[in-house]
Amino acid sequence: MNQQVMTDYLLAAIHGFKAAGIKRAVISPGSRSTPLALLLHRDPEITCWIDVDERSAAFFALGMTKVDLQPTLLLCTSGTAAANYYPAICEAEATNLPLIVLTADRPPELRGVGAPQAMDQQSLYASHVKKMVEMTVPENTPNMLKYSFWQAATTTIEALKQPSGPVHLNFPLREPLLPDFTRICSIQQNIAYLPTQQSLPAAVLTELAPLFMKKGLLVVGESLTPSEAETLHALANHLGWPLVGDPLTNLATCGETSAYFLPQADLIFPQLDADFIPEVVLRFGRLPMTKNVLLWLSGLPEGIDWLFVDESGQWQDQLHRSAFLLQLTIEDFVEQVSKLPSRPQPEWFQPWQKLQAVAEEALATTHSLTEWNETAAVRILQQTLGHDAQLLLANSNAIRFVDRYGTVTGSAYQVFGNRGVNGIDGLISTVAGIAAASQKPTYLLIGDLAFFHDMNGLQLLKQYQLPVTIILLNNNGGGIFSFLSQNTLSESDFVPLFGTPLDLDFQQAAKLYGAKWHAPATLTDFASQIEQSLTTPCFQIIEVAGLQKDPVIAWQALQQEFQERISNENKR
């Protein structure tokens, strides 16, 4: 069984290398690299060269690449064999040559325990390679086969990007090391590999033009400027495709919006059936943080065309699905596509639009969203913020509340976030920087744990008298965990490890740093405070107190209301 799993996983990687343009390999024979060496050697599409001296083999591969500037695979076993590749790798880096270095390695359980031929290979070539990937121990689930293919293909493409250079993939392999050759045919028949291509110039959009006549879905992630958001709304109008994006995309708050935008995606996507499966998925940047969108996209069947637009060219596709990377700005991409013919299909979009309308009705009628609680306060905040304001969303519950309960607003204000690695630290200091650079009314929506992590940042607000209003959602701890599986734990486990109550009086923090402090008791009082901050901005903290379970109850109530309305619609 282990041989089948290992063989499938390595064959997926080899298909990825070939999809990215690999046609040759230089192999330094050894034990741990046996399965990769054999599978490469038997592949009719890859010409293999053998050199028992690793140092010589690496320079041999370098010489090949010098001739045509095409990538060459270089494979060795574990231990000092890999170290002997170092001089040629340094030369490849200095002369911008795309060597694809594959090193076999001991599995994790044999590292650091005195096993023979085991050494640190992850950081072996340090800064002399453009990219280093530590591959997983082989698995042959569909997702892991896509992962193996994807890493091989995109890492090779990274080596070819200008300036070109060497890359390193380290493969930890367990014994037995002989592959199962019977898997070669079956893996080709049963696994749908991506037709991965390198970054495509704008001119290629004319070749992809037929895709824009199909039924598609626009998926947007990462922070966008309001101008970029307006451009994507224009694209949705041109194509007639549903548009999905989280709060940081500014799609809901840019002012010029489209009827194709679905702000309630987290509510809608669990209700989608086979009729909603698109023919094309067009993505911009990373995935939205909306969990139900991620789950739905992850479960889409094969046979869909996936396009990925990313100005950076980094190809950060955690789903490993996009077949084309278009390294273009949003403006350049939309300008090109707007010149192509489109065929908006009302029968495609109308079911999406219907679900969005039902979601908005559910939002308006769910009782818990009209009571005084964190969730309802966030909804009021979104509806009250004025033109030209700025809102920084903390991670955990804060950004999720805005994502789930937000609607398209009449005012145009800009939303920010620290979603690169999704930490809860440094957010007060970040909003201080935003306010200092812009001199605009600025808001921070933050939970008590994240607030506690950066209370020193309050000194910046005090020192420079920055007009920042902090909306502090204080449910005394890690409220996000009440939504997660940890909420099934016993109280003795949940409270100290995940609930983590702080029992702090944040009014004292406001006093210490010279901030005005408010604790409204009704939604009307809260809205009044926000309205006043728009006309007379100042450094202040508005504390919204609640219980950790309250947001869960509100979300469940909204889901139930929505599902009941959907059921009633279907009965008509």
Contact present, 175 and 110 (Cβ < 8 Å): no
DSSP line for 57-89 = HHHHHHHHHHHH---EEEEE-STHHHHTTHHHH
Beta strands in 110-201 (DSSP E): 131-134, 167-172
Query: Between 183-190 and 2-19, two packed helices, what is the crossing angle to 10 degrees?
Result: 60
Q: Quick count: other Cβ atoms within 10 Å of Cβ 48?
A: 15
- Is residue 266 a contact partner of residue 288, using CB atoms and an 8 Å limit? no
- Contact between 537 and 469 under an 8 Å Cβ cutoff? The reply is yes
What's the confidence (pLDDT) of residue 195? 46
Angle among Cα 394, 400, 401 to the nearest 5 degrees reads 95
CA–CA separation, 128 vs 131, rounded Å? 9
Q: Measured between alpha carbons, how far is 292 from 295 in angstroms, rounded to an integer?
A: 5
Alpha-carbon gap, residue 382 to 6, rounded angstroms: 51
* Residue 190, token pair as written in the block: 């049963």
pLDDT recorded at residue 174 = 93
Domains and CATH numbers, the chain: 1-172 (3.40.50.970), 202-350 (3.40.50.1220), 366-557 (3.40.50.970)
CB-CB contact of 173 with 6 (8 Å)? yes
**DSSP string computed for 146-165:** HHHHHHHHHHHHHHHSSSP-
CA distances from 133 to 67, 154, 171, 361 (A): 27, 11, 9, 48
Give yes or no for a contact between 35 and 75, defined as CB atoms under 8 angstroms apart. Answer: no
Nearest CA among 497, 495, 494, 518 for reference residue 506: 518
The residues pairing with 284 across neighbouring beta strands, listed in sequence order, are 220, 309
> Environment class of residue 508 by beta-carbon count within 10 Å: exposed (0-12), middle (13-18) or buried (19+)?
exposed
Distance CA 37, CA 309 (A): 35
**DSSP state letters, 364-415:** HH-GGGGSSSHHHHHHHHHHH--TT-EEEEPTTHHHHHHHHH----SS--EE
Rounded to 10°, the helix 550-571/374-384 angle is 70
Residue 24's nearest CA partner among 66, 92, 59, 72 is 72
Residues in the chain, pLDDT under 50: 189-193, 195-198
Residues 349 and 241 sit within 8 Å (Cβ to Cβ): yes
Whether the ω angle into residue 98 lies within 30 degrees of 0, i.e. cis, is no
For residue 435, give the nearest of 391, 473, 376 by alpha carbon.
Answer: 391
Token code pair at residue 179: 């592959």
Interacting residues of 502 by C-beta distance below 8 A, sequence separation 6+: 448, 449, 452, 476, 477
Angstrom distance (rounded) from CA 557 to CA 329? 40
Is the distance from CB of 28 to CB of 76 less than 8 angstroms? yes
**CA nearest to 533, candidates 385, 377, 382:** 385
Burial of 509 (0-12, 13-18, 19+ CB in 10 A): middle
Q: What is the largest CA-CA distance in the chain?
A: 78
Helix 397-405 vs helix 374-384: angle between axes, to the nearest 10 degrees?
60
